[in-house]
Amino acid sequence: MGHEWEIRFRLKNFGQTPAHYVRVAYTAKAVAWSNGKAAAPVPHEPDEQDEFEDLGSVGPISDFFEMVDEFQLNATEDELKNCTKAIYLVGKISYDTVFARGLTTNFRYRVGGDMGWDGSGEMNADETGNHAT
């Protein structure tokens, strides 16, 4: 049985030039965590289960988009707090710049697992699978 989780995140262009034709594909997954390891989802080619957003252009340095979505995930607050589950947000941002086309940035954030959860709702950048800052 799933529990409803609201996940809110921001996409920001930290570059010096605008990003055009920005598209983000993302999903959230709950995974079991045992012995300090999890079957962590990896950014992948987007599929029909992902959420998609066409954002248009994102200006340099200070421009951002805030994304909010709800997911039915098989994880409870207690499971996150006692380190038996983790929730991952994984995705891929594709965009063009004046210098190159077809660029991508993968991201992977998580809460729970070996970090537990203090109830604040703040996710942490995962050690791998994450090009976002």
Does residue 122 carry a pLDDT above 80? no
pLDDT at 53 over 70: yes
Count of the separate structural domains present in the chain = 1
Dist CA 87 CA 40 (whole Å): 9
Residue 43 has pLDDT above 60, yes or no: no
CATH code where residue 44 lies: 2.60.40.10
132 in a structural domain: no
**Is residue 130 a part of any domain in this protein?**
no
Range of the domain at 42: 3-125
Residue written as token pair 């380190």? 83
Q: What's the pLDDT score for residue 124?
A: 81
Query: 76 lies in a domain?
Result: yes
Q: What is the pTM of this model?
A: 0.83
Q: Judge whether residue 59 has pLDDT over 70.
A: yes
At 63-108, the pLDDT tens digits run 788 888 999 999 999 998 888 899 989 888 999 999 999 999 888 8
